Structure 1
Amino acid sequence: MLLNTGILIGSTSKDDSSSSDDDDISISSLSSQDTHMMSENENEDNDSDNDSDSNSDIVLNEEDEDDEVVKAIIKSKEKHRHHPPTINLEDTAMDICFHPNRDLIALAMISGDVLLYKYNNEETELLSTIEMHVKSCRDVEFSADGSTLFSTAKDKSIMLMDVESEKLTRLYDEAHECPIFTLTIINENTFATGDDDGVVKLWDLRQPGTQPIFSLKEMEEYVSAMVTNSDGKYLVCASGDGSLTTINIPGKKMHVQSEEYDEEMTCLGLFKSETKILSATNKGKMYLFNWGEFGLHSDELPSLTKKSINCMIPITENVVVTGGEDGILRATNLFPNRHLGVVGQHNFPVERLDISNDGTLIASSSYENDVKFWNVQYFEDLDASFKIKGGKQKQVKHHLPSSKFNNASDFFADL
């Protein structure tokens, strides 16, 4: 049961946000080729983009007419799908989270504030600027029913806020000894947090006080991501030390730790009815693990770039969108493995991704202080088991509808 302490959190922006914890940002330098590619899109107005307007017209020949993937992409372009305009910010958004049943998105800001925006295809509107943390807010998550917003920060605290009243309902002060990096909700009563030092803690909202029900220190670097399935038995944790560490939640003990990979594990996602877990790394690789077999990957997916994959979001049971250090959002089909194309792009590294409550939109944030929306409803029509005939040069005529890339040099500049 959540405690209603009746503490009202301020809803005005901070005057002292200049202390923005720059050490939370690590931007790798872009190559001249990447910079040129990004600059081609720098002056495009996302607000007026209608997903398909920026794509080249397609003239079908007989071979194209027989291609199922091409027909699905063209069909989705004809639907002329829309998306909300870009949110331009004064500070960097460290995390983003869609509300589970309202057209609302929460932004965790480097200033420590949490911003709540409502959105539609015509506009985005700032509803509240809520002063939550004294240092960089690193993670925000809505409860399953959307009534509570969880946030955690570099100041080592965890806060729970009632979304309607914007009142603080529970505070865990000094919850970790090191800054907290990530938070995930396991069920209506339990959530987990991981910090910069590799410590994972489990919390039960039914317990009085502010002590965790379990704590584990088995990772040598920061906990980058955590995920569980609907059973809630195992919590899989990715780490900067290159390992996956799995916790038995009911047993409150470590289940297994994978071998250490020679790269940082940066993000996780569940696929194929929760039977597969996908992990990405700071070297652009992706590893598939069978759920329940967390010691060693079952398959490695070839990568298009050696640059870091910073975040991922499952779009369907078989399709993942990843965001990387090169600013590109890419769609990948897992079974069979195929790179489907570019979903969207930023001028700076993509740091966070999330998907809307109806599955039609994804949002992405970058260190350019922007949050962009991309309509991905066309994946409902796309059967990636078919291949586009004719190789790369034929495929470049049929970019994914949300992408702004117009020609072969744009699309393949980073491959």
Structure 2
Amino acid sequence: MPDISVGSQIFDLLFHPSHPTIYTGLLTGQVKAFQYDEQGQHQPTFAVRPSKRSCRCLTISEDGSQLWAGGKAKAIYTIDTTTGTVSETRKNAHESPINRMKHLMPHMFSTGDDDGVVKLWDPRKPDDIRGYTHHFDFISDFLWLEDKKQLVTTSGDGTLSVIDVRGKKSEPFAQSEDQEDELLSIVSIKSGSKVVVGTQTGILSIFNRSHGWGDCVDRVPGHPQSIDALCTLPSSYPSSHSTILTGSSDGLLRAVQLFPTKLLGVVADHGSFPIERIAVDLGGEGRWVGSAGHEDTLKMTDLKDVFEDEEGEADEGANAQVDVASDEDDLAGDDQTPVGLNKIPAVIEASDDEEAQDSDVQKEKKRKRKGDKNLAGKRKKGRNEIDAEPSFFTGL
């Protein structure tokens, strides 16, 4: 699919849960929607500007009828996706800019701000249900555990916490030890039994739910820069239970398999622009993965084009070196890129948009780079830390 130009830096993106529509939150405060088809053609659906300040985060209702947006204005805006208009505004929802949002249940969504405050909201009510203040730095990401009705939060303060949304206490169910690193992104694997966290120093920290949330059980080094975004593969792929997509500050969107650890290849290339957000359409079960960073272009990559050759070889029982599901060798140590993963899109050119100088961007970059000091040098080795082969680092 051709890249979609949105005219300003993209802070967040998400897909409609059932329709081929993608929504973007922009530096200008606009929310823009685009429809697309299987052939890769796209067209704008609506553009609305709830605030003149940047829109940092989006979340959508289960049926896709309502979209919630938040950002530097500290307010929550409800957008009717059918008409493309703002239907409700919750002013001063937070005391600090809102950095992250997540839809949890039909009548509940969460928000997290720059000061580490997490709030739960009922869309039918104007005020928040509960607030949590156990974090002291920005909330970077949310993970919803449907089986336990628990919300997992990651923060720039170096800790992960678990909130039981059914409880009435304003304290978390559990909170990890200080990981001595900014925690930037989170996703679950192995049918939800394990949780992967992306960090500022480029390490993937693995938490095992059966071992509790006190500390990670594995650490997978290799990414040269911070891992700002994580996403799972659609369940239709044989290796989806242990394969994730990683968006890094070096501008590469990678497919990485865990247990055993293998770099499967580069899915998309944003050039010199850091990748801040990635998502797969149709509730994570579609064919398109959207990725965005510090440019005014939304990149859409067809996962079928990336992995179809591996699937074809697997069906024919051919060479297992290109089989994503059953390869027993470390592809990261092989000079050959797996078939289908060598189709790296063109590098995006930098934008000259004057809005790139907005103070919100400068503040956010500074805030997210507080961990640039060599935190890895003073880290204690994890209980089961992976000693990867040098070839794995070369592959990444």
Q: TM-score, normalization: structure 1?
A: 0.73
For residue 104 of structure 1, the aligned residue among 9, 13, 21 is: 21
For residue 71 of structure 2, the aligned residue among 150, 153, 165 is: 153
For residue 191 of structure 2, the aligned residue among 273, 276, 282 is: 273
1:236 matched residue in structure 2 = 152
1:408 matched residue in structure 2 = none
Q: Deviations over 1:378-402 (max 9, x none)?
A: 5472433313589734433646154
1:302 matched residue in structure 2 = 221
Structure 1 residues 371, 389: closer, same or farther in 2, change over 3 A?
Answer: closer
What is the CA distance between 1:164 and its match in structure 2? 0.7
Q: Determine if contact 1:224/1:267 at 8 Å carries over to the other structure.
A: yes
What is the CA distance between 1:375 and its match in structure 2? 1.4
Task: Give the Cα–Cα distance (whole angstroms) in 1 for the partners of residues 259 and 344 of structure 2.
Answer: 23
Task: Give the Cα–Cα distance (whole angstroms) in 2 for the partners of residues 391 and 167 of structure 1.
Answer: 48
For residue 364 of structure 1, the aligned residue among 281, 284, 291 is: 291
What is the CA distance between 1:362 and its match in structure 2? 0.3
Task: Give the Cα–Cα distance (whole angstroms) in 2 for the partners of residues 257 and 244 of structure 1.
Answer: 6
For residue 90 of structure 2, the aligned residue among 152, 159, 172 is: 172
Task: Give the Cα–Cα distance (whole angstroms) in 1 for the partners of residues 335 and 97 of structure 2.
Answer: 49
1:89 matched residue in structure 2 = 6
Task: Give the Cα–Cα distance (whole angstroms) in 2 for the partners of residues 355 and 393 of structure 1.
Answer: 28
Structure 1 residues 238-247 or 375-384, which shifts more? 375-384
1:186 match: secondary structure: strand
Mark the runs of 5 or more structure 1 residues left unpaired by the alignment: 1-83, 406-410
Structure ranking higher on relative contact order (CA contacts 8 Å, 6+ apart): 1
RMSD: 2.2
The one-letter code matched in structure 1 to 2:119 is K
Task: Give the Cα–Cα distance (whole angstroms) in 2 for the partners of residues 211 and 397 of structure 1.
Answer: 51
2:43 matched residue in structure 1 = 125
2:303 matched residue in structure 1 = 376
The one-letter code matched in structure 2 to 1:96 is L
For residue 354 of structure 1, the aligned residue among 263, 276, 279 is: 279
Task: Give the Cα–Cα distance (whole angstroms) in 2 for the partners of residues 255 and 290 of structure 1.
Answer: 16
Q: Deviations over 1:47-73 (max 9, x none)?
A: xxxxxxxxxxxxxxxxxxxxxxxxxxx
Task: Give the Cα–Cα distance (whole angstroms) in 2 for the partners of residues 355 and 244 of structure 1.
Answer: 24
Percent identity reads: 32
1:259 and 2:183 aligned: no
Task: Give the Cα–Cα distance (whole angstroms) in 2 for the partners of residues 222 and 412 of structure 1.
Answer: 30
Task: Give the Cα–Cα distance (whole angstroms) in 2 for the partners of residues 355 and 341 of structure 1.
Answer: 17
1:327 matched residue in structure 2 = 251
Q: Deviations over 1:72-93 (max 9, x none)?
A: xxxxxxxxxxxx2101232101
1:58 matched residue in structure 2 = none
What is the CA distance between 1:238 and its match in structure 2? 0.2
2:105 match: secondary structure: coil
Give the length in aligned residue pairs.
Answer: 324
Structure 1 residues 249, 412: closer, same or farther in 2, change over 3 A?
Answer: closer
The one-letter code matched in structure 1 to 2:223 is L
For residue 141 of structure 2, the aligned residue among 225, 228, 238 is: 225
2:215 match: secondary structure: coil
The one-letter code matched in structure 2 to 1:296 is D
What is the CA distance between 1:220 and its match in structure 2? 1.4
Task: Give the Cα–Cα distance (whole angstroms) in 1 for the partners of residues 73 and 245 of structure 2.
Answer: 31
1:135 match: secondary structure: coil
Q: Determine if contact 2:223/2:393 at 8 Å carries over to the other structure.
A: no
Map 1:209-224 → 2, pairs under 5 A: 210-224=126-140
Mark the runs of 5 or more structure 2 residues left unpaired by the alignment: 234-239, 312-322, 347-391
1:296 match: secondary structure: coil
Task: Give the Cα–Cα distance (whole angstroms) in 2 for the partners of residues 190 and 304 of structure 1.
Answer: 35
1:343 and 2:267 aligned: yes
Task: Give the Cα–Cα distance (whole angstroms) in 1 for the partners of residues 264 and 291 of structure 2.
Answer: 18
For residue 341 of structure 2, the aligned residue among 388, 396, 400 is: 400
Q: Deviations over 1:22-45 (max 9, x none)?
A: xxxxxxxxxxxxxxxxxxxxxxxx
1:273 match: secondary structure: helix
Structure 1 residues 93, 404: closer, same or farther in 2, change over 3 A?
Answer: closer
The one-letter code matched in structure 1 to 2:264 is L
Which has the larger share of helix? 2
1:250 matched residue in structure 2 = 166
Structure 1 residues 245-254 or 234-243, which shifts more? 245-254
What is the CA distance between 1:219 and its match in structure 2? 0.9
Task: Give the Cα–Cα distance (whole angstroms) in 1 for the partners of residues 288 and 42 of structure 2.
Answer: 14
Q: Deviations over 1:252-296 (max 9, x none)?
A: 331111011121100011111111111010110011112362211
Structure 1 residues 270, 402: closer, same or farther in 2, change over 3 A?
Answer: farther
Q: TM-score, normalization: structure 2?
A: 0.77
